[in-house]
Structure 1
Amino acid sequence: MENFRLFLVLFVSALSVGFVSIVFVIRWVLYFKEGLAWDGGLAEFNWHPLLVVIGFIFLQGLAIIVYRLPWTWKWSKLRMKFIHAGLNILAFVLAVISLVAVFDFHNAANIPNMYSLHSWVGLAAVILYALQLVLGLAVYLVPATPGFVRAALMPIHVYGGLLIFSSVIATALMGITEKLIFGLKDPKYKDSPPEAVFVNVLGVLLSVFGGLILWIATRPQWKRPSDNQLRLAHSDDLTPAPGANGSASMTTGQELSGEARRRGAGKAEEAAAGKSSI
């Protein structure tokens, strides 16, 4: 991998900022708000920001860059697909639970639903995320899907993932601002009480996390190599250096490389699709 040290610094930074963001939102709902419960009250609403940050932001961010972790390149592409899909499914489940908490709270308190820009963009992101999951599972985990279909849809799949992730970050920033404006009465949000400053820092952390994930995900030099490239590299590593049995060693290495090329040729279409994957 090119610039591995830079990648490692950015990856560790993203993980650190993500964990701190989760700690911040837990501190917010437990200390500044009413805690957590499932009773139709404000404590039930607090599940919404918590699950959004954990699932829809942190887990989705990890799912986006999981293919780019160089220590996983020795694993098969199929295993990585299952990990990528598993993280996204878990993030989607947590996002849906967070929506249920909001609607349940609003209905119990006779608060209108779906009137703010935050709610519009947020619901659109959840719907698009569901479509993205269905498309990804149907195209990239069904063996019968032709390779040319996977390759043709890969740019849409990649762009859709980045668009949804960016929309979720923007929605979260709108949501916490909206919550502070409506929730802080005395002192008001404009007076910068401790809760307002604390949650503003949370918003900055979420923005930084999103920026780091998007930077890692859009660097061409950090893409996962195709399966053909990985097999050939592995075969080259296994080729013995000429020694006492120099000619025999060279022949063995050529046979290994030839076998790797034959295996790779059978999956050329999948490799073409993999070149655009995150």
Structure 2
Amino acid sequence: MATVTPSLVPLLFFARISGFAVAALVIFWAFSFKSSFLPHSSPQEDQGLIYSALHPLFMVIGFILISGEAILIHRWLPGSRSLKKSVHLCLQGVALASGIVGIWTKFQGKKGMVANFYSLHSWMGLICILLFGAQWLMGFLSFWHRGEVRSVRLRVLPWHIFLGLYTYGLAVATAETGLLEKLTFLQTKRNVSKHCTESMLVNSLGLGLALVSGIVILAAVSPKYQALQSKLIYSSDGKKCMSS
């Protein structure tokens, strides 16, 4: 059985540590600064507060962190390739469901969907979810449908990897625009100080997301195993073919 390259061990470790730190920050923000998600909350508005607080929780923890873990599955999970693909697909499915629910919670306010769909953040979020859904479906059809020809899967694989990393990066960029949008609103509309605890927390959350994404993408493009997974085999007529 192939083992994880030693150079990847620190990356995987820091990916987990930074991921837990980001999760802790967004949970602390959602539950400790409730007025930031729904000003002047009253008992009748508790449901709206829940929806507003659930949006960053689902999008950051459920969508970004879980999809990042799904990318890392191929780098650390022991076992067969079939097992890795199964866990990868399941985690990506959970991330997709979390993203859909996260967007749904944002549209549960009194103003409805159209009023919330006006900013760069909202446009990027919708594009990201659509790309992620297409990517998940492409992965399912290309790598799990038993009738697929191996040569077709090999041709699709580079595009699957590219689109996966691109969508993951787009999700992080979308979250960063959301944090900037939220912090700008708090500082201009509600006179939240630029040096207060909440401002520092949101900025730290943004830096944490940038750190996590960098580590995940670096681990994804680094050499996977000590042993080569793909070997070049030369046939008797001198032609080169690849087997994995």
- TM-score w.r.t. the length of structure 1 is 0.74
Alignment of 1:134-149 (within 5 A): 134-149=137-152
Give 1:27's aligned amino acid. Answer: F
Q: Choose which of 52, 57, 66 in structure 2 pairs with 1:50.
A: 57
Give 1:13's aligned amino acid. Answer: F
Alignment of 1:212-231 (within 5 A): 212-222=215-225, 225-226=228-229
1:22 aligns with 2:23: yes
CA contact (8 A) 1:68 1:224 kept: no
Which structure has greater helix proportion? 1
CA contact (8 A) 2:8 2:222 kept: no
Give 1:152's aligned amino acid. Answer: R
Hey, what does 1:6 align to over in structure 2? 7
Hey, what does 1:209 align to over in structure 2? 212
Hey, what does 2:192 align to over in structure 1? 188
How far, CA to CA, are the matches of 2:152 and 2:192 in structure 1? 54
Corresponding residue pairs, total = 228
How far, CA to CA, are the matches of 2:212 and 2:110 in structure 1? 30
Alignment of 1:1-278 (within 5 A): 4-34=5-35, 40-69=47-76, 72=78, 75-105=79-109, 107=111, 112-184=115-187, 185-188=189-192, 191-222=194-225, 225-226=228-229, 271-272=243-244
Deviations 1:39-98 (A, max 9, x none): 6523311111111111211110011121111x51xx222111110000000011111110
Deviations 1:144-195 (A, max 9, x none): 1000000000000000000000000100010011111113444335x33210
Segments of 5+ residues of structure 1 without an aligned counterpart are 230-267, 273-278
User: Identity of counterpart residues, as a percentage?
Assistant: 29
Hey, what does 2:238 align to over in structure 1? none
Q: Aligned Cα RMSD in Å?
A: 2.8
CA contact (8 A) 2:3 2:226 kept: no
How far, CA to CA, are the matches of 2:97 and 2:185 in structure 1? 27
Q: CA deviation at 1:220?
A: 3.1
Deviations 1:239-269 (A, max 9, x none): xxxxxxxxxxxxxxxxxxxxxxxxxxxxx98
CA contact (8 A) 1:118 1:171 kept: yes
Give 1:60's aligned amino acid. Answer: S
Given the superposition, is the C-alpha separation of residues 106 and 166 from structure 1 closer, same or farther in structure 2, using an over 3 Å criterion?
A: farther
